[in-house]
Amino acid sequence: MKEYGFIKVGATSPRLYLANPLKNAKELINQIKKANEQDTAIIVTPELSITGYTCGDLFFQERLLTDAKLALQEILEETKTLDIISILGMPIRHDNQLLNCAIVIHQGKILGIVPKTYIPNYQEFYEARWFNSSNNLQTQEITLLNQTVPISKNLIFQDTKEEKYTFAVEICEDLWTVNPPSNNHALNGATIIFNLSSSNELIGKHEYRKSIIQTQSAKTISAYIYTSSGIMESTSDILFGGTTLIYEDGTLLKENNRFELESTLTTADIDVDKLEHDRIKNKSFMKNLEITNDKIIKVNIKNKLKELNRTYDEYPFVPGNIKKRDKRCEEILNVQATALARRLIHLNNSKCVIGISGGLDSTLAFLVIIDAYKKLNKSTKDIIAITMPGFGTTDRTYQNAINLVREYGATLKEISIKEATTVHMKDIGLKENDRSVAYENAQARERTQILMDVANKEEGFVIGTGDLSELALGWCTYNGDHMSMYAVNASIPKTLVRYLVAWFKDKETGRKKEILQDILATPISPELLPPTESGKILQKTESAIGPYVLHDFFLYHFLRLGESPKKIYMLACLTFKDSFSKEEIKKWLKVFITRFFTQQFKRNCMPDGIKVGSVSLSPRGDLRMPSDADLEAWLKDLEEQ
């Protein structure tokens, strides 16, 4: 998994023996060994994990400080044959002061020591009674257990072979400040941040804590691994819950159950390549004039991850949680409808002209127009919805198109394309039994001509119905359904279209709800080839170009995350192992790559269309790509699997 940019990290909240470093050492050793057995490369422990955070004035006792060093020595000895890097919390005496420190160790060696910078001294915290800030350090080097090592708040640790595996450390309150040290660490290349904490539990604090960590992870485009002291700290006045959290670029990957009596260990696989991709794509990330240089410590990070232990959504554009999905659908439709309303205002409330097929895409675009008209208090009679039966139109889609328009009170026009297309095909010498792409595209272009001409006649403008997935694959007729005057679905992937229509359906009742339900149940088809003898749809899009659930997965990982074909293939095989064979996945991924590269010329002249999500193909916005780029390297990358 290292070749794909993954690394396993861990956070433990061990059972504590307050003010007993030697007993704590044994529990820490157990957790480190357990994490190592799980192929964890780096593990972090809570703040002052060797002594406990709530020792109070015992921090002034020589016995506690001596035992802390003895405990560290034992941990170094017992873990020196392990590959794992461990980050421990303990008090360190240096420069005539006591410091609250993180000790980074590996194979019996102390790699570096990071003291806490911001010392809380308010409300229930009075840490400044015992500890000084890293800002008060006089020297940047310390000898501990006969090892001379750097001690500084400005340390980052980097793999000797692959620089992308770079991590840094901050301690508890450091995160809660206006400018956490991790800001600077991230700008100096740290893709992974570890936080040793002792954060007590109060009503509402856990969610607030999570929001801060989530924001910091997103802001620094980093993985943020957090662990806090557990319930065996002193409960004289406050309780610690033993929280462990692992975030990646603002997304929570793993968390533990709080308030556990025994030790907890939380691990997750971090996608460092994703973090690097997002950083280079975000051009504001490095525009900071106050970057201070961190000292880089080289370390051999043993990345032994063999099997990925994280899951990916089959539908990356669709939230799995129903409540989140409903909220997302409402927001998307609001963005679409508001953008269209704005364009209508600019055009002096022109009429909207739309082709209605009885399929999902045109239904969604039609519903967006309905919402836009509601915002503008316009009569739906100014929506001119045209159904244009052709050689492949089935009675099911025809009836659904007509009924949909009538139920919402729009103006319905029916203009058959059969006669005009027949004449046109005769004019260009296309044989009657020809079922080539010319036969199909002639129908699509005839429909577009009708829509454009009606729009001219009615002083209106044409609303496009094509979606993001079709644009990615080029599954549209150039200057046919590829063209419109405003494309409201241009950044809506096919897998999301269905959920948006379903969301709209759930808000309706009676006949409207029945019609939308049947549209949702209709197979996806351009209906450009004649139906079966029984009148059913013969031409099914997914049989020709592959399942949209796969293509949308490919699109998200290819464009949003910049992942290589072989990595996308690996993730798809993992995600769809119960739905598609590896051979099927590779077959359709080849189709995706080929079509994505060869169909760019269509996207380079696509009409205006509103962006609603993180992936857009507009040549004026998110995708500037040559139409003649060579795809050989991408196909070769896939073949190396």
3-state secondary structure 435-457: CCHHHHHHHHHHHHHHHHHHHHH
| Closest by CA position to 92, among listed 128, 51, 125 | 51
pLDDT digits (tens, 9 = 90+) for 124-178: 999 999 999 999 999 999 999 999 999 999 999 999 999 999 999 999 999 999 9
Residue 288's pLDDT band (cuts 50, 70, 90): confident
Do 104 and 131 contact (CB within 8 A), yes or no? no
What is d(CA 163, CA 154) in angstroms, rounded to the nearest whole number? Answer: 17
Residue 392's pLDDT band (cuts 50, 70, 90): confident
80 in the same domain as 31? yes
Residue 248's pLDDT band (cuts 50, 70, 90): very high
What is d(CA 393, CA 411) in angstroms, rounded to the nearest whole number? Answer: 21
Judged against a pLDDT cut of 70, whether residue 537 lies above it is answered with no
Do 187 and 149 contact (CB within 8 A), yes or no? no
The domain that contains 375 carries what CATH number?
3.40.50.620
261 in the same domain as 163? yes
How do strand 460-464 and strand 351-355 relate by DSSP bridges?
parallel
Classify residue 35: in a domain, yes or no.
yes
496 in the same domain as 409? yes
Do 197 and 336 contact (CB within 8 A), yes or no? no
Residue 528's pLDDT band (cuts 50, 70, 90): low
Judged against a pLDDT cut of 80, whether residue 94 lies above it is answered with yes
DSSP state of 608: P
Judged against a pLDDT cut of 70, whether residue 340 lies above it is answered with yes
How do strand 244-248 and strand 251-255 relate by DSSP bridges?
antiparallel
How many angstroms separate the first and last alpha carbons of the chain?
13
What is d(CA 580, CA 331) in angstroms, rounded to the nearest whole number? Answer: 32
pLDDT digits (tens, 9 = 90+) for 177-214: 999 999 999 999 999 999 999 999 999 999 999 999 99
Classify residue 516: in a domain, yes or no.
yes
Q: What is the pLDDT of residue 1?
A: 72
Do 327 and 359 contact (CB within 8 A), yes or no? no
Residue 527's pLDDT band (cuts 50, 70, 90): low
Judged against a pLDDT cut of 80, whether residue 533 lies above it is answered with no
What does the block give as tokens for 416?
């058959």
Cβ burial of 257 (10 Å; 0-12, 13-18, 19+) is exposed
Classify residue 593: in a domain, yes or no.
no
161 in the same domain as 28? yes
390 in the same domain as 448? yes
Q: What is the 3-state secondary structure (H, E, C) of 155-168?
A: EEEEECCCCCCEEE
Among 101, 172, 352, 476, the one annotated catalytic: 172
- The residue-averaged pLDDT of 290-314 equals 91
118 in the same domain as 15? yes
How do strand 42-44 and strand 85-94 relate by DSSP bridges?
parallel
pLDDT digits (tens, 9 = 90+) for 547-575: 999 999 999 999 999 999 999 999 999 99
DSSP state of 559: I
Classify residue 583: in a domain, yes or no.
no
How do strand 295-299 and strand 411-414 relate by DSSP bridges?
unpaired
Judged against a pLDDT cut of 70, whether residue 448 lies above it is answered with yes
The lowest-confidence range among 288-302, 389-403, 502-516, 603-617 is 288-302
276 in the same domain as 385? no
The domain that contains 11 carries what CATH number?
3.60.110.10
Q: Is 78 a catalytic residue?
A: no
DSSP state of 221: T
330 in the same domain as 289? no
pLDDT digits (tens, 9 = 90+) for 573-588: 999 999 999 999 999 9
Do 59 and 68 contact (CB within 8 A), yes or no? no
- pTM, two decimal places: 0.92
136 in the same domain as 35? yes
Residue 538's pLDDT band (cuts 50, 70, 90): low
Residue 293's pLDDT band (cuts 50, 70, 90): confident
What is d(CA 453, CA 457) in angstroms, rounded to the nearest whole number? Answer: 6
Q: In what order do the strands lie in the sheet with 109-115?
A: 109-115, 97-106, 85-94, 42-44, 6-13, 264-271
What residues make up the domain containing 175? Answer: 2-299
Do 308 and 1 contact (CB within 8 A), yes or no? yes
210 in the same domain as 101? yes
Classify residue 506: in a domain, yes or no.
yes
What proportion of the chain, given as a percentage, has pLDDT over 90? 91
Quick one: the chain helix, strand, coil %, rounded to 5? 40, 20, 40
Strand, helix or coil at 574? helix
Residue 290's pLDDT band (cuts 50, 70, 90): confident
Classify residue 632: in a domain, yes or no.
no
252 in the same domain as 111? yes
Domain stop point among 267, 299, 331: 299
pLDDT digits (tens, 9 = 90+) for 324-338: 999 999 999 999 999
pLDDT digits (tens, 9 = 90+) for 342-353: 999 999 988 999
Which residues pair with residue 264 across a beta bridge? Answer: 13
Phi and psi angles of residue 240, each rounded to the nearest 5 degrees, phi first: -105, 135
What does the block give as tokens for 312?
């990916």
Classify residue 531: in a domain, yes or no.
yes
Classify residue 91: in a domain, yes or no.
yes
Judged against a pLDDT cut of 70, whether residue 112 lies above it is answered with yes
Strand, helix or coil at 211? helix
Q: What is the pLDDT of residue 270?
A: 98
Q: Is 587 a catalytic residue?
A: no
As for how many domains the chain has, the answer is 2
406 in the same domain as 292? no
Among 8, 55, 101, 116, the one annotated catalytic: 116
Q: Is 329 a catalytic residue?
A: no
What is d(CA 374, CA 337) in angstroms, rounded to the nearest whole number? Answer: 9
Do 229 and 242 contact (CB within 8 A), yes or no? yes
Among 47, 248, 440, 527, the one annotated catalytic: 47
